[in-house]
Amino acid sequence: MRFGLAGFLLLVVAAPALSRAPSWPAGDAEPAALALLFPQSATVERQSLAAAHRAGDAAAVRAGLGRLAALGYAPSEQTMILLAPHVPAAEMETLRRRFAANQGRVQASGLLATVPAEHRLVEGIAWDSETNRLFAATVVSRALLVREPLGWVKVEGLDTGSLFGLAIDRRRDLLWIASGRVEQTPSPETAFRGLIAVDLNSLMPAHRLPAPGDGSPADIAVGADGTVYASDPLSGALYRARPGDAALGVLVPPGRLRSPQGLVPAAEGRRLYVSDYGRGLAIVNLADGSLTRLESDVSTMLDGIDGLTAWRGGLIAIQNGTNPRRILLLTLSRDGRRITRVRVLESNHADWGEPTLGFVQDDRFLYVADAQWERYGAGGAPIGAEPARPTAIRFLRP
């Protein structure tokens, strides 16, 4: 799920001062300072580049374009025409070749299933390995779906809002669902905002955990001890509920993160990895809620990440807020504080629309390949005359 961070001349609210420590600051800073604070963010680099263009600083424009190329980003043709007066022709031609290479296709997945177009705006999926059932969550239809031998069936009796991320806790036989409201939610005043747990055996509701205040959770994860975590991309908050809690509590208050999305609890139980959509990947200390940056030894863009999933000690990241859109496998250092290797699993796939969230099924990674957020406006009203497509769910082997 994304919330308008893609414009080239985007304004920003961000960090106060530079530090050698990889902290995650909050507040205001100039674009050039932000670029140092978040070196793996193409969004932040583009903001710095826009400021250099407005100032007529040709050297800074040329340096910024070089950094974007190294991150794997590819600017639009409109942007290249706008910036061309700052760059010598031969150098611009070299940059164009580098950006074209960044747009190269990497296609390794196959089609697993399709959700019929009548089920509108599929955001999250989950696979129950015990029963070989595939679940899907819909935003506009406000329904949890399960794939049965004869097709997709709505799970009744849940009283939801728009549904987003899904997570399975098989130790407790629970499927957790994030329920909330966004601009595309039909009848938003009736939407439940919080987490719903469904018994995996009966598919009946087992728990309902309301979000605090005006909170609206979207992505979700479950720790080994049964603690559930959720992100709120609208307020910037992170929530947490331990087994037995009757409601979600605030782990990270609004204002520290701009738009938190996917999240993954570390196996050791002390940290939480979270994607901040416009900035990159953060590490949350679960003892006190403090934030640091997940550093990378590899130059690659780590912003625009929607789905974030654990994979054999590392992370799989779905980027839909970058150009090109990509799926990455991130290898972590032994202490879990650095990215030591980045492998592009897929990029700029010819059959993609907007990939969103994924789920691990044994040795495969399943993901929503075409959510179609762009087709729905306020209250879920269709945009344009073209009908919605069936939603593709694809799989790959990392």
Q: CB within 8 A of 20, min separation 6: which ones? A: none
Instruction: Round the average pLDDT of the chain to a whole number and report it.
Output: 93
Q: What is the pTM of this model?
A: 0.93
Bridge partners of 274, per DSSP, are 263, 282
Q: How far apart are CA 1 and CA 8, in angstroms?
A: 19
Please enumerate, as own/partner, the contacts of 187-191 that have beta carbons within 8 Å and a separation of 24 or more: 187/379, 188/161, 188/379, 190/161, 191/142, 191/160, 191/161, 191/162
Q: Strands 314-319 and 122-128: what pairing? A: unpaired
Q: What is the mean pLDDT of residues 175-198?
A: 98
In angstroms, the CA 32 to CA 47 distance is 8
Degrees to nearest 5, angle at CA 187 with 184 and 189: 110
The answer to whether 260 and 253 are in contact (CB under 8 A) is no
By CB atoms closer than 10 A (0-12, 13-18, 19+), residue 326 is buried
Q: Please report the pLDDT score of residue 27 as a whole number.
A: 59
Q: What is the edge-to-edge ordering of all strands in the sheet holding 295-296?
A: 295-296, 338-347, 326-332, 314-319, 305-311
Residues 148-159: what's their mean pLDDT? 94
- Taking residues 199-225, report their average pLDDT: 97
Q: Is the pLDDT of residue 226 over 80?
A: yes
CA distances from 136 to 139, 175, 329, 377 (A): 10, 11, 23, 21
Start-to-end Cα distance in the chain: 23
Q: Is omega for the bond preceding 212 within 30 degrees of 0, making it cis? A: no
> What pLDDT score was predicted for residue 28?
62
Q: Where are the alpha helices (DSSP H) in the chain?
A: 31-37, 42-55, 58-71, 77-83, 89-102
Model pLDDT for residues 62-111, shown as the tens digit of each residue: 999 999 999 999 999 999 999 999 999 999 999 999 999 999 999 999 99
8: which 2 tokens? 């080239």
Which pLDDT score is estimated for 57? 97
Q: What is the pLDDT of residues 111-142, one digit of tens each?
A: 999 999 999 999 999 999 999 999 999 999 99
pLDDT value at 17 more than 60: no
